[in-house]
A and B are shown apart, each in its own frame.
Chain A
């Protein structure tokens, strides 16, 4: 047990928690914006995979890692718009449209990857992001190194949490988004364009999901593997519910997931006999428990899953 209480272990675990939480934070924040406007985007898993693939491909071809991140965001926006076309403009079932996007994007990501790289025995790699140590802060004993020697995308993710929170609760735009999600009829009456608001939320949220995916191929790893997302998109869906549609609480959920993910990697490395699969199961079980009674909570956007067609109100 000495090894577990070791300073290096704790410091390493904090660092791993932050790293593993990063893609989930991006995706969770993206999904919160989308769901607050009244749309459930189950396309998230596929959008993240397309982001991961595009980010990797563009970085590989151009040598510029930030161009990779940018392209991942653009691809996320395009897929977000496709989701908006199906679920908002045409008013199709949000469940099935989202799953359709995931299936389509997953197939497309693997297709394009194979097209460019074939099936090599050794997967191609890129020069990934380097961790940046923040002076002074990173020298705080025990916790400093883990918290403040991170990838720039991790710092951005942490900055985005308060930014999105302020956007949703303290600005005119946030008020519009929440009104559209709570009561589109009222929003429409006071002159808010419901279709446009939802479309923009899906496009913006898609960008965050794409970036979250690209973190996995540009920082966490330096290659693209087909199962690189591994259900992290669904975890984000779960964290939105777990966090009661609030950016801070959602990020807390992402941290818990990151902690368990980081812990299982370390215990596995130390040869401790507890199956890491048991650990990986915990976030899903926690979320199912969190789901119980969620419909009675006030936080769920009242018009989530309901398409809005002005014509049907007799207009």
Chain B
């Protein structure tokens, strides 16, 4: 009988790191042909409209960036945390914490001098997300509570906090729906290009890529954070205060996710609703993995995702394939990428079983 086993391989050269995500995307698109054909869509036409819908017209091209900005923020948030092996599955809740804070300030800062409003909201939104993420970090470092489960559960705690506030103090007077008042004009992100929704949150997200890259590569904290991720015990013996490193990592990670929430509120919705995020926090996990936890990789994979999400609308209109194909492609791409990453470390060897 012939069996297979996985054998460790030598580290792959640098080009492989770029080539692997691209190969994973190609395999994902090949696999996604199955549901498209199942839906009776013409394959080439479907993929044509997928990409045309995202990149083909000026408005849609800019819209792809609009969609990419929250994905980029949550992707960076997750990647930054995962690099230190702080398993932050809670970007969704941290995003909501940011959006909630931005709402509370956005409806009430009408009297404050206008140029101050946005900086205050952005700083507060970052802090809210960061503090929400530091709770599981504290639980992990001080009480040994598993971070995956605690961050996941805190998402639902935050959803219900938001629900309680939207049915309570934050609810628009006179409305029976769970929605807040609209934020004041000074709290809205400026639109940077006419006849589009291309807003300030996009350059802000690109700036965040640079900041995360700089922290990772050029600061002692970035080095320590990585060391904690590689081997926390060795880092401890090496004199790194691992508790404080994990806490700061969580604070920055949650802060980035919080900014995604601020952006969605102040540039897209202008008022808080229960569906402020269609799961950007969870998509962020896939984007971080697909981008190999590297800020540039996260940038590229968030763009890939927003192409799929925006393009799926046109594809659905033109071919009748349901828009949920975007979610199917996202899920498939994560699993394909996982398998590809495995083969960067291992190779398959055929063995003869006695």
- List residues of chain A with CB under 8 Å of any chain B CB: 40, 42, 86, 90-93, 95-97, 99-101, 103-108, 110-111, 114-115, 231, 234, 237-238, 241, 275, 277-278, 280-281, 284-285, 287-288, 291-296, 309, 311
Contact = CB atoms under 8 A, between A and B. Distances in A.
Given A106-B331, A111-B327, A287 B153 contact: yes
Contact of B330 (A103, A237, A284): A103
B6 A91 contact: yes
6 contacts: A99-B282, A103-B327, A275-B167, A285-B157, A293-B143, A295-B144
B350 interface: no
A294 B140 CA distance: 12
B229 interface: no
B150 A110 contact: no
A116 to B, nearest CB: 10
B167 A277 contact: yes
A159 B23 CA distance: 49
Contacts of A91: 6, 342
B87 interface: yes
B168 to A, nearest CB: 6
A108 B338 contact: no
Given A231-B156, A281-B160, A281-B161, A275 B168 contact: yes
Nearest to B327: A107
Given A40-B148, A110-B322, 7 more contacts: A90-B342, A103-B282, A104-B335, A106-B331, A234-B152, A278-B160, A295-B145
Given A103-B327, A277-B164, A115 B334 contact: no
Nearest to A105: B331
Nearest to A241: B149
A288 B90 CA distance: 14
Interface string B29-41: 0000001001100
B145 A288 contact: yes
B149 A110 contact: no
Closest 9 CB pairs of A and B: A107-B327, A104-B331, A114-B322, A277-B163, A103-B331, A277-B164, A107-B328, A111-B324, A281-B160
Contact of B339 (A92, A280, A293, A296): A92
Given A103-B331, A104-B335, A294 B145 contact: yes
- Majority secondary structure, A binding face: helix
Contacts of B335: 86, 97, 100-101, 104
A269 B78 CA distance: 40
A90 B343 CA distance: 10
A277 B327 contact: no
A291 B150 contact: yes
Interface of B: 5-7, 35, 38-39, 87, 89, 139, 143-146, 148-150, 152-154, 156-157, 159-164, 167-168, 282, 285-286, 289, 322-332, 334-335, 338-339, 342
Contacts, number: 141
B322 A111 contact: yes
Contact of A311 (B7, B144, B328, B331): B7
B343 to A, nearest CB: 9
A104 B331 CA distance: 4
A237 B149 contact: yes
Given A92-B338, A237-B149, A293-B143, A108 B164 contact: no
B146 A99 contact: no
A123 to B, nearest CB: 15
A284 B6 contact: no
A99 B39 CA distance: 25
A103 B338 contact: no
A79 to B, nearest CB: 11
Given A291-B145, A296-B144, A103 B153 contact: no
Nearest to B337: A100
A70 to B, nearest CB: 22
A266 B85 CA distance: 43
Contacts of B146: 291, 294-295
Contacts of B330: 103, 107
A278 B164 contact: yes
Contacts of A105: 331
Contacts of A111: 35, 39, 322, 324-325, 327-328
Given A95-B87, A99-B89, A287-B153, A277 B328 contact: no
B338 A96 contact: yes
A108 B35 contact: yes
Contact of A107 (B87, B164, B324): B324
A93 B82 CA distance: 12
A115 B39 CA distance: 6
A139 B342 CA distance: 60
A223 B143 CA distance: 43
B332 A90 contact: no
Contacts of A108: 35, 327-328, 331
Contacts of B331: 100-101, 103-108
Contacts of B5: 311
Contacts of B163: 275, 277, 280
A100 B143 contact: no
Nearest to B341: A92
B167 A284 contact: no
Q: Chain B CB within 10 Å — which of A96, A97, A114, A234 has the most? A: A96
B289 A96 contact: yes
A234 B156 contact: yes
Given A90-B339, A99-B285, A284 B334 contact: no
A106 B329 CA distance: 11
Contacts of A90: 6, 339, 342
